[in-house]
Amino acid sequence: MKALSFAGSGFEYFKIWIVNILLTIVTLGLYYPWAKVRNRRYFAANSNLEGRNFEYHATGKQLFIGYLIAMAIFIVFVIIQNVSPIGSLIVALLFILALPWIIWRSIKFNMRMTSFSNVRFGFDGILGGAYINYLLLPIVCFLALYGLPIALAIVIPMLGLQMNALLGIIILVAVIAFIVLAFFLFAFLKKRNTSYAINGYRYGQGEFSTNVETKKFAMILLKSVGLSILAMIALLVIVAVIAGFTGIANEILQLKDSLQDPEAMQMALAGSLGMLIGLVYLGFIIVSLLIVAYLYTRQRTYIYDNSNLDNKITFASTLKARPFAWVMITNFIIIIFTLGFGVPWAKVRMARLILENSQVNTNHGFDEYLTQKQKQQSSLGEQIGDAFDVDVGIGF
């Protein structure tokens, strides 16, 4: 197994990034497609594996028309949202209907425009599959999940049942069934989406495939939820202990008396109590980030371990929750304290972490792979996805 590496640096990228922004502003946004190409290309071309690198091939000219149309749609969308409540409901529905198409076109375009060692990637998944996985199944799952409590809420009053032991048991069983079903459905959707994407990916004539299972995703989810419950309890205990030792507990009790007096209230909030509330918030954010990082890295490891190219080239992810959460949190701090000017460093740090923790078994080599002819297509779907910040998550 060989890990990928990233050759770029924060400062080098900063120079490209700031010139991009300046030119975008000076041209009133018209330069954006070229800026986007430079950004994407910087990250692709600096990603290396065994002396071979990735490359992003789209050109500004190629993106330009799609960009103009996507911007027009975006502006109309923003205006309707501000003007008419009914109109915004309609456009939101239209957007949801178009979402699978946007995701499909985005994956297709971005894969086609990316190469590794002079061979293009591709995506063969069909549009119908995108509609099933990104629209139909989520709706069915939603109905299946909420159908049970809604049915109970309707049936129980209709039968005129009295609150008794039997009814209590029925409700308890229903709640447990609801939770189990929620876990299962979430895992099921994750499995379907992952399989749809990865099984459609191509590298030259090579085909990626994956055989992930719902059960394993459900286990990862269960562990994450368990961990978050434990972490929240721990957080509460820590806060209670701190409050007890520092006498803030007394202040809280006194706060009850100060409810009538806004000035005393403000004093209390500005003082140590305010600090405690701030600490609780901070702890909450850190714990949530750790849980998100845990869930993401575990899923990633599972998906990488169970995916391959042509059954010959295998993958592994060594990304762990703690370093991932650490980079997320420190990136956030960098961005906030530099008022956004630290974004390039943040992006480079994240790219480096992700790449250095992605491994490929290179024993088989890549020499036999050849770029396949693919139909040309417009970038419109990808551009709309970009404008509306659709998270396509290609998974590299």
- Minimum CB distance to other proteins smaller for 228 or for 288: 288
Element (H, E) at 49: strand 47-49
Q: For other proteins, give the closer residue by CB, 117 or 214.
A: 117
Minimal CA–CA distance to 112: which of 204, 209, 199? 204
Report, in Å, the least distance between residue 67 CB and other proteins: 10
Closest separation between CB of residue 366 and other proteins, Å? 4
Return residues touching other proteins (CB under 8 A): 7-8, 12-16, 18-19, 21-26, 29, 32, 35-36, 38-39, 41-42, 45-46, 52-53, 55, 71, 74-75, 78-79, 82-86, 116-120, 204, 259, 262, 265-266, 269-270, 328, 331-332, 335-336, 340-341, 343, 346-347, 366-371, 386-387, 389, 391
Q: CB nearer to other proteins: give 131 or 396.
A: 396
Q: What does each C-alpha distance from 106 to 33, 46, 111, 358, 392 come to in angstroms?
A: 15, 22, 8, 23, 7
Shortest distance in whole angstroms from residue 153 CB to other proteins: 25
Which residues lie closer than 8 Å to 316 by C-beta, 6 or more apart? 1, 301, 304, 305, 358, 359, 361
Nearest approach in angstroms of CB 282 to other proteins is 14
Q: What is the largest CA-CA distance in the chain?
A: 79
State the Cα–Cα distance between residues 218 and 196, nearest whole angstrom.
18
Residue 265 class from Cβ within 10 Å (0-12 exposed, 13-18 middle, 19+ buried)? middle
Pick 1 or 22: Cβ nearer other proteins: 22
DSSP at 372: P
| 308 strand-pairing partners | 209, 314
Could you please report the per-residue DSSP string of 319-334? --HHHHHHHHHHHHHH
Question: Could you tell me the smallest distance in angstroms from the CB atom of residue 145 to other proteins?
Answer: 27
Contacting residues for 127 by C-beta, under 8 A, at least 6 apart: 100, 101, 104
**CB of 161 vs other proteins, minimal distance in Å:** 35
How far, in Å, CA of 162 to CA of 172, rounded?
16
Least gap, CB of 367 to other proteins (angstroms): 4
CB-nearer residue toward other proteins: 16 or 235: 16
